[in-house]
Every structure is written in structure tokens, then in C-alpha cells.
């Protein structure tokens, strides 16, 4: 699979989200970070805003739900137009049931792991999801440094996906830049979220193309 680049609008201008979604029209998905001030110590946006973003975005939305009780809330993001909905393994009470519900609603289902959460207990979930998100920073804020200690987990996830013959995408999120994207790709990631690297670049389309090129070699 060619590398996918999903810019995170956490680094966009929240007073100009439609404009800043337009700026990433050459990306694969727009990554939308939903935070609830409980699962993580930060608060971003919820369903009413998400619904409007889905209506105006030139690219499909990749929802990353950093929230408590995703069993209750995640399906509503699928109904609001998300192409992909990722919930945290640490927060879900019934992850298999939730993943099935997301797929039934027509979304891709993703499961996310904090940097300190091991992948082994969740390998059984792989057959039920379309994507596993290995967080490469502690979730909550943009602009943090990529944690190299997560690379073995990316490798482990890739081995498990290959061994099972599954078509599960492996996403990395946090500190992804020109400096780190090749390490993540080499370890087996194929979907790359980048917030500050993309929106902080002089040319957003050029940065997207450069990151894609680096990840695809
Ligand atoms: C962090 C978010 C990320 C964030 C990444 O909790 O999940 O999506 O926007 O930002 P950068 O790319 O700046 O590390
Ligand atoms: Zn994210």
C-alpha cells in the first residue's frame, strides 16, 4: 500500500477550519482530534463541529477520539460522516462490539494505543478493525517529540498483521516529520498523521508531497 498522509487539523487555525481543510486537499484524509478533557487533559471539538467539517472537507475525515466512553459516542462520528473512526483501547468497554458497530455504519474502524500500552493484549482485535493507531507521543497536544521507544511496537503490530494475512493499516500519530517519518515507515507504519510539520511548513502541499515521498521509499 502506498503511504497515506493525514494532516492533523489540531495545528490548523480553529477560526479558519474550512480554509485550512482546503489547504490539505492533496492529502489522503484530514485527521480530526476529538478530546474531552477527561481521557486527555485538553479539549478540542465535538459532534456539531465535526459534522460541519465533514460537509466542507475536500478529503475524507479520519476521526481520532481521545475521549472516555467511546462505546457511547464513537458511532455518532460515523453517522456524522467520518470515513474512519479510531477509539482508544484503554477507554473502550467492549472494543469488538464497538468496531463492528462502526463498520456496520459504513466507517473504517480503528483502535488506538497510548505509548505505554502494550500491543499484545489487543492482537486478537486485529481481525475486527481496519486500522491500529500506535501513538508516538502521549496523546493530548501537538508539537511534541516522536518517542523512538514506540518503534518496536510498530514492528510487532506489522508482524502480527502480516502473519495473520490481514489488510489492517498501521497509523502513527505524534512527532511525525521529515526527521522521523522514515523510521516509522521502516518499522512498518503506512498511515502518517502530521500536525505541526504540515501546518507549520512554508508550503503545505509541498510538505505533504515530501512526507509522502519519504514514507514511500
Ligand atoms: C495528539 C494528537 C495528534 C497531534 C499531532 O494527541 O493525536 O494528532 O495533532 O501533532 P504533531 O504532528 O504536531 O505531533
Ligand atoms: Zn491524533
49 and 28 in contact (C-beta within 8 Å)?
Answer: no
pTM over 0.90: yes
The residues facing 108 across adjacent strands are 84
Q: How many angstroms does the Cα of residue 80 sit away from the middle of ligand 1?
A: 22
What domains does the chain contain, in order, with CATH numbers?
4-216 (3.20.20.70)
User: How far is the C-alpha of 127 from the C-alpha of 130, rounded, in Å?
Assistant: 8
Neighbours of 165 (CB within 10 A): 6
Annotated binding site for substrate: 8, 64, 140-143, 173-175, 195-196
pLDDT tens-place values along the chain, 217 residues long? 789 999 999 999 999 999 999 999 999 999 999 999 999 999 999 999 999 999 999 999 999 999 999 999 999 999 999 999 999 999 999 999 999 999 999 999 999 999 999 999 999 999 999 999 999 999 999 999 999 999 999 999 999 999 999 999 999 999 999 999 999 999 999 999 999 999 999 999 999 999 999 999 7
28 belongs to the catalytic site: no
Return the residue whose CA atom lies nearest to atom 4 of ligand 1.
142
Of 52, 20, 35, give the one whose Cα is nearest residue 91: 35
What grid cell was written down for 170? 498501521
Ligand 1 atom nearest 196 alpha carbon: 13
User: How far is the C-alpha of 207 from the C-alpha of 183, rounded, in Å?
Assistant: 17
Of the CA atoms within 13 Å of residue 72, those in its CB half-sphere come to 4
Ligand 1 atom nearest 144 alpha carbon: 14
Amino acid at each position: 500500500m502506498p503511504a497515506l498522509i493525514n494532516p492533523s487539523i489540531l495545528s490548523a487555525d480553529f477560526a479558519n477550519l474550512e480554509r485550512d481543510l482546503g489547504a490539505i486537499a492533496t492529502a489522503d484524509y484530514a485527521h480530526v482530534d476529538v478530546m474531552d478533557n477527561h481521557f486527555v487533559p485538553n479539549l478540542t471539538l465535538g459532534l456539531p463541529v465535526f459534522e460541519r467539517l465533514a460537509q466542507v472537507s475536500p478529503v475524507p475525515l479520519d476521526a481520532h477520539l481521545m475521549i472516555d466512553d467511546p462505546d457511547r459516542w464513537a458511532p455518532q462520528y460515523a453517522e456524522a460522516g467520518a470515513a474512519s473512526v479510531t477509539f482508544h483501547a484503554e477507554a473502550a468497554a467492549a472494543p469488538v462490539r464497538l468496531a463492528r458497530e462502526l463498520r456496520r455504519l459504513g466507517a473504517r474502524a480503528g483502535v488506538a494505543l497510548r505509548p505505554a500500552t502494550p500491543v499484545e493484549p489487543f492482537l486478537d482485535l486485529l481481525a475486527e478493525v481496519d486500522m491500529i493507531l500506535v501513538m508516538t507521543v502521549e496523546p493530548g497536544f501537538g508539537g511534541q517529540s516522536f518517542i523512538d521507544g514506540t518503534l518496536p511496537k510498530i514492528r510487532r503490530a506489522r508482524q502480527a498483521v502480516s502473519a495473520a494475512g490481514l489488510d489492517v493499516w498501521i497509523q502513527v500519530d505524534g512527532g511525525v516529520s521529515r526527521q522521523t517519518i522514515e523510521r516509522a515507515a521502516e518499522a512498518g507504519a503506512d498511515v502518517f498523521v502530521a500536525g505541526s510539520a504540515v501546518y507549520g511548513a512554508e508550503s503545505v502541499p509541498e510538505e505533504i508531497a515530501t512526507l509522502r515521498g519519504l514514507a514511500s521509499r
